[in-house]
Amino acid sequence: MENRRIIQVEEKVPPKLLIPLSIQHMFAMFGASVLVPFLFGINPAVVLFMNGVGTLLFILITKGKAPAYLGSSFAFIAPASIVISKFGYAYALGGFVAVGFLGCILSFVIYKFGSDWIDIVLPPAAMGPVVALIGLELSSTAASNAGMLDEAVNPKNAVVFLVTLGVAVIGSVVFRKFLSVIPILIAILAGYAAALLCGIVDFTEVANASVFAMPNFSAPKFNLQAVLIILPVILVIASEHIGHQIVTGKIVGRDLIKDPGLHRSLFADNFSTMISGFIGSVPTTTYGENIGVMAVTRVYSVYVIGGAAVLSIVCSFVGKLSALISTIPGPVIGGISFLLYGMIGTSGIRILVDGRVDYGRSRNLALTSAIFVTGLSGISVRFGQIELKGMVLACVVGMLLSLLFYVLDRFKLTNDFEEE
């Protein structure tokens, strides 16, 4: 069996590989990343611009040690939509700035007091299922984007979805040499070709778009009530970030929580969100789709991620190109996401395996079980305008239970304490 060479984080990639690999990352984030501005009713050009800038800032701040692409955050959709309906988009931008600023403060707290507490708050028996849920709860989104959950599934959508998914799955197993590192890009091209044959690609936007177009920058406005509605999202994005950094670390074989450090990556993530708010873009976050691309291709180079960031910035200024990318139909994006989200879910299971979690111990069995059921049951908890559910609520439950077990251990009240 052929073992593909891993291209590590700091390795430079030849130009003939760099461009297609970077394009692959840009395509992987595109479908989900432009969905947020569509929901907020803004032009996605400024989002493409800030995704690129934010990613480059992330690479710079983490000293090129943490490969991550920053795309539009889904965590802000519910509270920001409330603010936009009540106050307007400018006031939502003010909330984005506030959350980013608070996240930067949190990173300094971690820098001061360290990150060893993570092993207490989220041990492997808790972190594994939390990371798995990141991918698993997104699986329905992939199917929905593909039109596979419609009451009456369009046969054309089904054909394009299956072609895209099939090429991605089979290609990641059978492609060799150069093709073995770009199966996702090839699957997108194959899916797009199938979509053209099925007649579900609309070029109207491309025809109407200008060749050159400036991103629509805008300034934030601040209102205390608007800020308070959005501010609690910091809990969501912090837990998402930790999960993403741990799963990325597992994929690349390094402890990114310790080097470059959680404080650096969390600061970079939130600093990008703060800047996004100042220029009129949506908040950014490390992207699960691009983590999945790294898992499939085994290419972890920050030069590839940086190349994707530069391409995203270029696309934000080229009206025709941005419009052309936006013609990629949902079934293609859904087909790719279907596999990538599964890869993320599997990475969570890998944490359990690598951590050699002993399910003969009651605490581990109870912890993992409670997290999975909480995340998949649909249970939600609302604090004002903020709703915790799915992976986020499961993460909170996991942290509370882990802390409880830690306290019980200190008082020697657990029935498996002797095994510590």
Q: Do the beta carbons of residue 280 and residue 88 sit within 8 Å?
A: no
The top-scoring range by mean pLDDT among 217-231, 265-279, 314-328 is 265-279
Task: Provide the percentage of residues in the chain whose pLDDT is more than 90.
Answer: 38
State mean pLDDT over 204-209: 86
Residue 9 resides in a domain:
no
Residue 95 has what pLDDT? 95
Residue 7 resides in a domain:
no
State mean pLDDT over 345-365: 87
Residue 298 resides in a domain:
yes
Using the structure block, give the residue that is written with the tokens 């611009």.
49
Residue 294 has what pLDDT? 87
Closest CA to 297 of 176, 190, 172: 172
Residue 267 has what pLDDT? 97
Report, in angstroms and rounded to the nearest whole number, the Rg of the chain calculated over CA atoms. Answer: 21
Using the structure block, give the residue that is written with the tokens 């999202």.
233
State mean pLDDT over 89-98: 96
SS3 label, residue 298? coil
Residue 159 resides in a domain:
yes
Residue 331 resides in a domain:
yes
Question: Binning pLDDT at 50, 70 and 90, where does residue 132 land?
Answer: confident
Rounded-to-integer distance, Cα 202 and Cα 271, Å? 37
pLDDT at 313 over 80: yes
Residue 105 resides in a domain:
yes
Q: Do the beta carbons of residue 332 and residue 47 sit within 8 Å?
A: no
Rounded-to-integer distance, Cα 286 and Cα 58, Å? 9
Q: Do the beta carbons of residue 379 and residue 396 sit within 8 Å?
A: no
Residue 268 has what pLDDT? 97
With a threshold of 0.75, does the pTM exceed it?
no
Instruction: Name the least confident of 172-176, 201-205, 322-326.
Output: 322-326
Query: How many degrees, rounded to 5, is the angle at CA 246 between CA 242 and CA 252?
Result: 145
Both tokens assigned to 136: 């698993």
pLDDT at 196 over 60: yes
Residue 414 resides in a domain:
no
Residue 225, domain extent = 17-408
Residue 99 has what pLDDT? 95
Number of domains, the chain: 1
Mind listing the pLDDT tens digit for each residue in 134-174? Answer: 778 777 777 887 888 888 888 999 999 999 999 999 998 89
pLDDT at 1 over 50: no
Instruction: Name the least confident of 48-57, 69-78, 161-170, 198-207.
Output: 69-78
Q: How many helices (H) and strands (E) does the chain have?
A: 20, 4
Rounded-to-integer distance, Cα 374 and Cα 294, Å? 29
pLDDT at 388 over 80: no
Question: Binning pLDDT at 50, 70 and 90, where does residue 101 land?
Answer: very high
Alpha helices in 253-287 (DSSP H): 262-279
Residue 8 resides in a domain:
no
